[in-house]
Amino acid sequence: MISTTAGLRARLAERRAEAPESTVALISTIGALHDGHRDLIRTARETADIVVVSMFLNPLRFRTAADAQAYPRTPEADRALLADLDVDMVFAPTTPEMFADLSSTTKISAGDLGLRYEGRSRPFYFDGLLTVEAKLFSLVRPDTAVYGLRDRQRVFLVERMIRDLFWDIDVVTVDTVRDDAGLPVSSRIALLDEADRVAAARLPIALEAAAANADRNVDACIAAAQGALMGESRITLDYLNAVDPATFLPVDEGHAGRALALIAATVGGHRFIDNTEIYIG
């Protein structure tokens, strides 16, 4: 467990001096680790010699300090999971360690795309996410960065940042881990009561409906997904879109071929996002 940037740099320098050809994989998290993170770590272990996991509750990803404080914290369970998976280094800094002055720090802009989909509801979110990813890339200098596909918008924006800033980092993606009901595994599931959990399980069903009807056209795809959610009062839908994976912009009516169906909704006061690949036309 390393809590300072100087300590992280020193330990990485030691490991690289011991084995100059060694490769480094980075997994960035905000803690509250779960089975999805296990798969990320296992993949990192297969692709690199040194695995670094960061656990930093990034305040720039939250609307208010109170929202950040409300995020689940499971430090003992996190440490046990990381020890079990043979992680080489865990970087767990404080906010002052990462930001000398949070109110005037240099930030990375996600641009217009950062204000769509997730960014429409949380316009600060992707700028904050990319800013900390950039800091971690500068500190760790990883050869690979490993991400889950539950948040495709995050992956797209990180890949674009890496390309635009000429970093020599390969992005490795891992399929979404799901529970028995088909929900993407996350710390929020444990916060739902039984009725809300049953309602939330309609979200992956809606995506399945979208995929099953995508061979007709994009309108039929979206209509089928909306129909799967009809009558479920516990779900407040935020967005449901079909986007081009090459641009992450909404597909037009004449689109044919691969696309992504994205969904976000609030259930029991907790936000859930999910996606699936579809083939239109």
- Please indicate if the annotation marks 149 as binding a ligand: yes
Backbone angles phi, psi at 58, to 5 degrees: -60, 110
- Please indicate if the annotation marks 151 as binding a ligand: yes
- Please indicate if the annotation marks 202 as binding a ligand: no
> CA–CA separation, 36 vs 53, rounded Å?
14
Radius of gyration of the chain (CA): 19
- Please indicate if the annotation marks 186 as binding a ligand: yes
Residues in contact with 251: Cβ distance below 8 Å, sequence separation at least 6, in sequence order = 218, 242, 243, 244, 259, 280
Backbone angles phi, psi at 141, to 5 degrees: 50, 60
> CA–CA separation, 196 vs 138, rounded Å?
41
- Please indicate if the annotation marks 140 as binding a ligand: no
Q: Which long-range contacts (CB under 8 A, 24 or more apart) does 175-179 make?
A: 175/39, 175/148, 175/149, 176/36, 176/148, 176/149, 176/150, 176/274, 177/34, 177/35, 177/36, 177/38, 177/39, 177/148, 178/204
Alpha-carbon distances, residue 80 vs 38, 85, 90 (angstroms): 12, 9, 12
- Please indicate if the annotation marks 185 as binding a ligand: yes
Do the strands 89-91 and 24-29 form a parallel or antiparallel pair, or are they unpaired?
A: unpaired
| 255 among known catalytic residues | no
- Please indicate if the annotation marks 216 as binding a ligand: no
- Please indicate if the annotation marks 218 as binding a ligand: no
Instruction: Considering the candidates 34, 37, 255, 270, report the single residue annotated as catalytic.
Output: 37
- Please indicate if the annotation marks 231 as binding a ligand: no
Residue type, 151: D
- Catalytic positions are 37
Annotated binding site for ATP: 148-151, 177, 185-188
Annotated binding site: 148-151, 177, 185-188
